Chain A
């Protein structure tokens, strides 16, 4: 049972990583920018969820608010920060992105307070189910189910709809896509909008899981997500999904078995470095979205 408990932890967290990282990998695929400030989008999603849910008394409205606010924020980051910097070395927008994350983290603190925000009347956070001795919380189930729906939806969107196919084509073969009449600028906005909404959902679910949104909430995923997308072969959605789940599991088991000489954040990066030394091109190697 013990190992299954650990697996449940790992898989549910892996699903969260996946929803967080997919936006990051898509931005990289399209623009070659390491969008570190994606963690600020994630945190904004968490804040929007908890604040709207507390104001309206409805969790659904909380998530709705989050997936409305964050795409606007994500697109604004692209328009105001990245677009003017596209002509520079990729590290220039990356540093700007880190600056934005530092700024946003402190802004959250100033605006919403150091103490953090908790959900009012939220039985959902404390609901658990027992399957033959394995404890699974409602939020963990929600994480896995949401991730499944999201990735299935993403798959259908990019293979069955015109916009989606154009998007995928632009990520893998920008010139050819443009010659077929796909507007690359629209694709970029779409990219930021969808990626941000997914990060917001992940943020909202983590908020529920912790029953706490504090200014540090984005930190846990911010830099680790970079490791994930590199492991996933930068730009590959499938690779990112696999890498996220693997990392979730490695952390879940690693915290116990190597936690005595390495902390949890370092475990992720140790896995990254070992894998990079064995497979310098990353996990998947595939470049298609």
Chain B
């Protein structure tokens, strides 16, 4: 396996974790979050600091998870307070705040970022395996949650909060749970990203990145774990496959995004479902 393949596979794994975790918040529970990059970034910075302090990989992972979910639960409380329209904009705000704050913090490296982060000692291939294992675990968790009582409750809250309440499902607790789990996983992804690059700057966690994650969820099909995984892999590979159009990268990416949503707003999951339906009818 070439170094290039290893780095691509690693970043695919990280993006899968991010997209699947966002899908738990926005897909399962219907809480639109456009600030996933902030939780990802919080995890990355926490893991970087932990690596400098202890050079202990499991500890750095835990630090990333805690940082991501702490910030996530704070935003979760906000989601209880504001109505859903405002939540999307609030989460955008969280993302800009995170970036704007870190930019100015010299103890976090400010604009310079943090470089020379101690390596995990597993090597690039070892890191990749770790990332892939975590990605598989995340997908498994997502599938499990979607079939569990909790997944049912998430969907009930996402579809109709009042109806869910009458069924005795405490909407608030489940929203918080969705934010807590989803952002903890984003923090995990952040820690893995830190291991992968050993150099982080705040620009990697900006709002455009959050939008790309949401694009993966929407293109994959909101709420569908497998659809989202497929989209995460596809959208990560796409710019690599079409790198020869160097000059038109964002143009093509934006265009794809618009076209897929415009022509197949149910995403990949919706498309395959339709195909199955048609086959059955035929």
* A contacts B directly (C-beta below 8 A): yes
Looking at chain A, what size class is its interface with the partner chain?
35 or more
B254 near A104 with CB under 8 A, answer yes
User: Contacts of A84 on B, CB cut-off 8 Å?
Assistant: 262
The distance from the CB of B38 to the nearest CB of chain A, in whole angstroms, is 11
With known contacts A91-B88, A282-B86, A100–B258 Cβ distance under 8 A: yes
A145 sits at the interface (CB 8 A): no
Contacts of B85 in A (CB 8 A): 32, 90, 230, 234
A47 vs B251: C-alpha distance when bound (angstroms) = 18
Picked from A32, A34, A80, the residue with its CB within 8 Å of the CB of B89 is A34
- Residues B104 and A102 in contact, CB atoms below 8 Å apart: no
B253 within 8 Å of A (CB atoms): yes
B 83-112 contacts with A by CB, 8 A:
83, 85-86, 88-90, 92-94, 96-97, 99-101, 103-105
Q: Are B250 and A103 in contact (CB under 8 A)?
A: yes
Residue A263, interface by CB 8 Å: yes
Give the contacting residue for A105; candidates B82, B250, B255; CB below 8 A. Answer: B250
When the two chains form their complex, are residues A85 and B86 in contact, meaning their CB atoms are under 8 A apart? no
Contact B261 A223 (CB under 8 A): no
Within 8 A of B (CB), among A63-92: 80-81, 84-85, 88-92
Nearest CB in chain A to that of B210: its residue: A98
List residues of chain A with CB within 8 A of the CB of B100.
262-267, 269
Q: Which residues of B contact A141 (CB under 8 A)?
A: none
Whether, in the assembled complex, A1 has its beta carbon less than 8 Å from a beta carbon of chain B, the answer is: no
Report the Cα distance A264→B85, complex, angstroms: 24
**Contact of A226 with B by CB under 8 A:** yes
Contact A81 B247 (CB under 8 A): no
Q: Is the CB of B261 within 8 A of A96?
A: yes
B232 contacts partner chain A, Cβ-Cβ < 8 Å: no
In the bound assembly, the distance between CA atoms of A47 and B25 in angstroms comes to 39
The CA of A265 and the CA of B262, in the complex, are separated in Å by 30
Of B97, B248, B256, which is within 8 A of A106 by CB? B248
Q: Give the segment of A156-164, A245-253, A270-278 that binds chain B.
A: A270-278
* B93 contacts A272, C-beta separation under 8 Å: yes
A276 touches B218 (CB 8 A): no
Q: Is A153 an interface residue (CB 8 A)?
A: no
* CB < 8 Å neighbour of A272 from B90, B207, B249, B262: B90
Chain A CB within 8 A of B21 CB:
no
Residue interface mask A29-44, B partner, CB < 8 A = 1 = 0001010000000000
CB distance from B249 to the nearest CB of A (A): 7
Check if A99 sits within 8 Å of B89, measured CB to CB: no
Q: List, sorted by A's number, 7 A–B pairs whose CB atoms are closer than 8 Å.
A: A92-B265, A98-B215, A106-B254, A268-B96, A270-B93, A273-B93, A276-B90
Q: Which 3 A-B pairs have the closest CB atoms?
A: A266-B100, A103-B254, A99-B257
Q: Chain B: residues with CB nearer than 8 A to chain A? A: 26, 32, 78, 81-83, 85-86, 88-90, 92-94, 96-97, 99-101, 103-105, 207-208, 211, 214-215, 218, 222, 247-251, 253-258, 261-262, 265
Q: A110-B248, A269-B93 are in contact. List 4 more A-B contacts (CB 8 A).
A: A96-B262, A99-B215, A223-B92, A264-B100
